[in-house]
Structure 1
């Protein structure tokens, strides 16, 4: 190896150094199995999960117009652009410069500048034209500082992409929850309107009987109380329906189309509730928020490498090659060539604790990223466990609640027959009406909660990310 090649080989060997510590992901701080293990179906894409055509159209619209998803996409694009900015710091900056200057020097100065005593007393006027290509302050990455910064930028871009997928899954869940809330409000409103009509008819009958002396004031007061309660419930249901529609509009991100398919009633909604939860380790592959936290951890670890390398020398190169001439016609003659080459090395001596502070801060942020990563896993485990607990109990609760409705409606039918036959009083009929109304409201709420819990489990398992790639 020649003496000229030796410094180059040494330089290339030095640039292979890296100050970034090796990262070992912490073990998942959760149990190896869920508290409840249930068999289920494979997790489908969202169109297979939510079978209502109206809901499908709303989700598709939200994936186009929802502002949270749009912001997440822009953040991902900004992070991708930041990679280009960071990479550019490790490349030479080359510029092409041209200039023209004209100046006048008095005779005494002009003669002294060239060692002559016979310069014209009036002085010398001349112009100069230069053209050159310049390499400005190109840093040779001796200890991997720029490489670590580039790694951190890349990991943050990947984190933003995972965050975009997490937002997409959140949007699907938010639209579904808002849709179910609107369906509940609409069906409760319809039930309240029908109940109010029924109770107003009962009130009219009670008034006629009271006026004829065939019913007591207690019966009339009871009927009036039920009718007024239904009136109050009607106002509440109308408000809830309007607010639910507003929430659904916000979740979708656009006004609801007028040509949406007719909705399927809550009790017949085709939302899957039997989903295969797999094992907690599957969450590391399927949950985009966990992937986001992992990339943030890797980025923070790369920041440590950049902070370490800042303590070490920096080598920068500056050079220029061009031409200089007093006349444009002879500018590019070989004799008019000009060049300069300036390697420079810089070693920090005193920065007032800035470098040590940056390193300590990078280490602290890495510790925070580790805790965030572990917390993401724990949160995911809890959400899946909650979903499995809901799935294990809602089926029986819904079945029993429907049995309560059937029993209340049977009691109401018998109370009407008994009242018409004169074997029971009106208070018994009114109580049966109130019980049936409450049971019908409760079964709707239970069904909505069951469907909402299925949606939550779908999100907790990262369902849409398993089978579909975000657009």
Structure 2
């Protein structure tokens, strides 16, 4: 082993054995209660299953409607926001590789030739071109300005770049989780609005019949002009709702196709909310706060915090000498044929060191900035955990009461339907006045619309709880 090679090995060993000036990373304590909240809104008896199991359930298992599954598959293949997230991951990966390359010496090879005419070169070797001509050839391999990382500056910068890469991966996963939930919610919203449109259309036809009957009774002198006008107001309200819902259904489809990133086959689109729901029924009753650490957005926040911690180490190392090494091993001769013969070897080693003396507070400012950034990342991490806890708690609160609300809404619709039918029969026999019949029809119409909205809330609540726990990746 020659002298240059030994020097390089020694310098590499010193660099790898150098000290690390970054603070020891300790994960902050979770700034939320250990268990999910309790109270009247959190009906644990209405819920079953484990939060851990739900978070690890693949979206193809969680969603039970095959049309919805196909829309989600199409979205994951075509959504532009998700493509941007994937590109961001590749950018972060490339920057990490660039920074990591500074840990080891970059080896370069070079070769050259010099043709010189000089009166002092006459008679010298290689002056075949004539008196005063000297040809020199050289070839070498070596490293240039490689920093010996004795104080961990390069290692900490590499660590920070690696954590940025990990954070980009986690952000990409978070984007998918959110996208799956948004697509499912948009699909169900389209289903609910389509069902409401169909019901409003049927109701408008029934109101048309009521108007025709009332006008006939008016012509016969049995009904009043007031009853005719009242019947027409209900019909006009239904017509207005139909126009608004027609627009809303079109906008729902536009929103869904924007998320999907492409046009959707009409066979994938729902005409009404699925009878048995669009998701599995096993949802957790209790969610320990530690489960939240599985959420991709929280993982991304922690990676950013670890990277900020490493940047403090790099800022501290800037106060100490920066030692660099330039070295080369090669050969030189006065003739190309003699370039690699014995005795033509050359080598050079040029270490250098620089130590900041007066920088007018530059390094101190960088260190303060790094520490402030770390503090901000701690707060951002804690806020992410608190936000996640709030989202899960809100979803559980809604889930704890939605069953009772839905049962009441079904009963309300059924009773309103019966009342409408009976009042119509009583009116036709002259037992009740028209105002009672009209009021019953309106109540049934509103109850059915409200029931559809409540069914949508129940379905989207299950999706929100699934998203809040970090599900939707597998």
Per the normalisation by structure 2, the TM-score is 0.89
Q: Classify 1:242/1:334 alpha carbon distance in 2 versus 1 (closer, same or farther; 3 Å).
A: same
Partner of 1:410: 418
- 1:358 and 2:361 correspond: no
| Distance change (3 Å), C-alpha of 1:167 and 1:371 | same
The answer as to whether partners of 1:273 and 1:451 remain within 8 angstroms in 2 is: no
Q: Superposition pairs for residues 182-193 of structure 1, below 5 Å?
A: 182-193=190-201
Stretches of structure 1 lacking an aligned partner (at least 5 in a row):
115-121
Cα offset, 1:206, TM superposition: 2.2
The Cα shift of 1:273 comes to 4.8
| Residue in 2 that maps onto 1:335 | 343
**Counterpart mapping for 1:62-461 below 5 A:** 62-105=75-118, 107=119, 110=120, 124-260=132-268, 265-276=273-284, 278-461=286-469
CA contact (8 A) 1:35 1:385 kept: yes
Q: Give the whole-Å Cα distance in 2 for the aligned partners of 1:256 and 1:363.
A: 50
Please report how far the alpha carbon of residue 426 of structure 1 lies from its aligned counterpart in structure 2 after TM superposition: 2.1
Q: 1:267 touches 1:447 (CA, 8 Å); kept in 2?
A: no
Task: Give the alignment partner of residue 21 of structure 1, picking from 17, 20, 23.
Answer: 23
Which residue number corresponds to residue 12 of structure 1? 14
2: CA distance between counterparts of 1:273 and 1:390? 15
1:423 match: secondary structure: coil
CA distance in 1, matches of 2:439, 2:15: 90
Distance 1:391 1:273, change over 3 A: farther
Query: Could you tell me whether the CA contact under 8 Å between 1:311 and 1:355 is conserved in 2?
Result: yes
Q: CA deviation at 1:12?
A: 3.0
SS in 1 for 2:428: helix
C-alpha distance in 1, partners of 2:158/2:440? 72
Deviation at 1:21, TM superposition (A): 0.5
Residue deviations 1:4-34, cap 9 Å, x none? Answer: 99x9599738833110101222211111222
**Secondary structure in structure 2 of the residue aligned to 1:324:** strand
Mapped to 2, the partners of 1:9 and 1:405 lie a distance apart of 82
Larger displacement relative to structure 2 (37-46 or 17-26):
37-46
Q: What is the RMSD computed on CA atoms of the aligned residues? A: 2.5
CA contact (8 A) 1:249 1:255 kept: yes
Mean CA deviation greater in 389-398 or 127-136? 127-136
How many Å separate the matches in 1 of 2:330 and 2:18?
Answer: 33
CA distance in 2 between partners of 1:249 and 1:14 (Å): 53
Kept in 1: contact 2:137–2:339 (CA 8 A) = yes
Q: Could you state the TM-score of these two structures normalised by the residue count of structure 1?
A: 0.89
Decide whether the 8 Å contact of 1:280 with 1:381 is kept in 2: no
State how far apart, in whole Å, the 1-side matches of 2:62 and 2:339 are: 74
Taking the aligned partners of 1:141 and 1:170, their CA distance within structure 2 comes to 41
C-alpha displacement of 1:148: 0.9
SS of residue in 2 equivalent to 1:329: helix
Q: 1:11 to 1:462 in 2, by over 3 A?
A: closer
Indicate which of 33, 36, 44 corresponds to 2:35: 33
Per mean C-alpha deviation after superposition, the further-off stretch among 68-77 and 168-177 is 68-77
CA distance in 2, matches of 1:139, 1:288: 36
Cα distance change, pair 161–277 in 1 and its aligned pair in 2 (3 A): farther
**Partners in 2 of 1:261 and 1:448 — Cα distance?**
16
| 8 Å CA contact 2:186, 2:256 repeated in 1 | yes
1:35 Cα shift? 1.6
Residue 60 (structure 1) shift: 1.8
Q: How far has the Cα of 1:242 moved from its partner? A: 0.5
